[in-house]
Structure 1
């Protein structure tokens, strides 16, 4: 049933039943200053997610899928677009599709926070595929396959949004990058769901996990707990300290020897012998052979056919659990982390 049309409201009347009118505005004095705009920062240190075993509870938390790629910030200015890594390195030329799409966004100035990913046939982010599209660690290739999953807006049309609550930043982001797009810049959509149920669904679909964010929080740099990550499978960075040779394996690599940090030292945490293909193993072997040393960085115990290298390469390793003596269980190699990505090395906490 159609609603009846509203009658026009009556004008306000003065004491003599004459219509009250506002005074005409004076012409603006050209010497009067404009409203101040916030200076656009050259770089914003990213907000990082704190690892938790279970999703948080409560109405203040919203959820997203966890993407497995490279954290990037896309800076849009009248002078051009810059794409910066988590460590502040300029990788604009390495993501031409993201660059072209950023130039088309209807905004004069902005900083978008998100993740560069390559999706597999099932729509899941695959870190190994992203690495290969960039030419492997240390490679200089540009990735035309990579897309940018935008999940935050830090600066918008002359205004710094970092002090604004997440819900307001997301509202503006969704107006700039609409949901459901298939361009090189896409919205990482928020999911209204129970955290435990969403995590279960994510794990069933072989996703890496989920991210929970406090909808009322400002954007704070560092790992302060406003954002929380919950993983289906553990995945962390470990230092490669050597490898065991094998004539039957890709690249002649039987097993990588890995270390984690404990205070200011490195501690041996076992090895990984799966997850390689011919291409990734060949690229890895080439990197390791440049770092061969006669002095092992950590005590790995007795190893047959071991080659030790300087502890300069950080590998992303998936694993299910730890053994009672502090070694990785059911581990699998995912790829090498870039120096520019500020790769974090797993830290063993002392009780």
Structure 2
């Protein structure tokens, strides 16, 4: 049986007390400053990290694990959600689970972060992300992808880019809990000595670290407020040809690669490892639609099938030889044009 609610020992308001009334509002002082309202930007160019050989020193740096995926910005409004690539393309339809999770956050904001697909060990698998999206030119949606948020650029009418990173991160943590385990998660900052953290990241097979100045505002360029330190180098190169093989996967024995130099391209070596069978077979078909009799670089090589420099490959490597060729290179996958992958440029 449901018990009757207990009567209060004393009335909330004594009969002798006047009724509660709100204080009348005073007319607004015209001299009082108004908080500025910033219109929500349609797009914000991302802040980019400079590549450096070792972690920076000092207490003014925040460290994050470097994840291998696609840089995205989430534009969240009450009436629409947009998932924008680094190159400014709308990929909302290609990341439906991320877009759905973004709609649950509510409010109006812009989040900066990385879309990844995790392997069984919890590490980002770039090839799996590419496969989920259907490869180059694919139309599939990557429902298994998650978004790792690491910055907050706009919130409920206020542009936060002029604030220090430490303040933006604090606000971001109030929006996305540390223990969030859905399609949108908080990329946690790591405290400690940069050298020790970098060694641990490499030991666990991670790509490397990102270091960011805690007191720096958000700049849409590459000026050194953010730096990256890689365990294994990974850069983007044009595919300019391939060496056919009857024994290799997909019939590709080796890809020939080129980087930008000045206004043209320069040959930087080849790659013959890292291919998966289904990727190699499709890559061979794509390359055969781009055949050309004239190589994109001044290079003579017997038996090579030359192709137009259209496809961009992500290549892991262990540095460069004295004659400007990649050392111990391995194929990771094709980059999307709409991802705006920057082809590696050699300083003239």
CA distance in 2, matches of 1:265, 1:151: 36
For the pair 1:147 / 2:121, whether they are aligned, the reply is no
Q: State the secondary structure of the residue aligned to 2:307.
A: strand
Q: State the secondary structure of the residue aligned to 1:329.
A: coil
Q: State the secondary structure of the residue aligned to 2:237.
A: strand
- The alignment's C-alpha RMSD in Å is 1.7
Structure 2: stretches of 5+ with no match in the other structure: 1-22
CA distance in 2, matches of 1:176, 1:290: 47
Of the structure 1 ranges 268-277 and 279-288, higher mean CA displacement relative to structure 2 is found in: 279-288
Once the two structures are TM-superposed, the CA of residue 36 in structure 1 deviates from its matched residue by: 3.5
CA contact (8 A) 2:36 2:158 kept: no
For the pair 1:347 / 2:348, whether they are aligned, the reply is no
Q: State the secondary structure of the residue aligned to 1:62.
A: strand
| Match in the other structure for 2:197 | 198
Once the two structures are TM-superposed, the CA of residue 298 in structure 1 deviates from its matched residue by: 0.7
Once the two structures are TM-superposed, the CA of residue 35 in structure 1 deviates from its matched residue by: 4.1
| Match in the other structure for 2:37 | 37
Question: 1:66-125: per-residue Cα shift (whole Å, max 9, x none)?
Answer: 0100000000012210000001000000001101100111x3100000000000001101
CA distance in 1, matches of 2:62, 2:124: 21
Once the two structures are TM-superposed, the CA of residue 25 in structure 1 deviates from its matched residue by: 6.1
Once the two structures are TM-superposed, the CA of residue 138 in structure 1 deviates from its matched residue by: 0.9
For the pair 1:268 / 2:270, whether they are aligned, the reply is no
CA distance in 2, matches of 1:192, 1:109: 30
| Match in the other structure for 2:56 | 56
CA distance in 2, matches of 1:229, 1:321: 16
| Match in the other structure for 2:160 | 161
CA distance in 1, matches of 2:58, 2:210: 14
- The verdict on how the C-alpha distance between 1:36 and 1:331 changes in structure 2, with shifts beyond 3 A counting, is same
| Match in the other structure for 1:316 | 314
| Match in the other structure for 1:281 | 280
Once the two structures are TM-superposed, the CA of residue 285 in structure 1 deviates from its matched residue by: 1.3
CA distance in 2, matches of 1:344, 1:150: 22
Once the two structures are TM-superposed, the CA of residue 334 in structure 1 deviates from its matched residue by: 0.2
Once the two structures are TM-superposed, the CA of residue 137 in structure 1 deviates from its matched residue by: 1.0
CA distance in 1, matches of 2:66, 2:186: 13
Once the two structures are TM-superposed, the CA of residue 33 in structure 1 deviates from its matched residue by: 10
Question: 1:121-140: per-residue Cα shift (whole Å, max 9, x none)?
Answer: 01101111100000001101
| Match in the other structure for 2:137 | 138
CA distance in 1, matches of 2:205, 2:72: 24
| Match in the other structure for 2:12 | none
For these two proteins, the number of residue pairs brought into alignment is 325
| Match in the other structure for 1:91 | 91
| Match in the other structure for 1:17 | none
TM-score (ref. length: structure 2): 0.90
**Runs of 4+ deviating beyond 6 Å:** 31-34
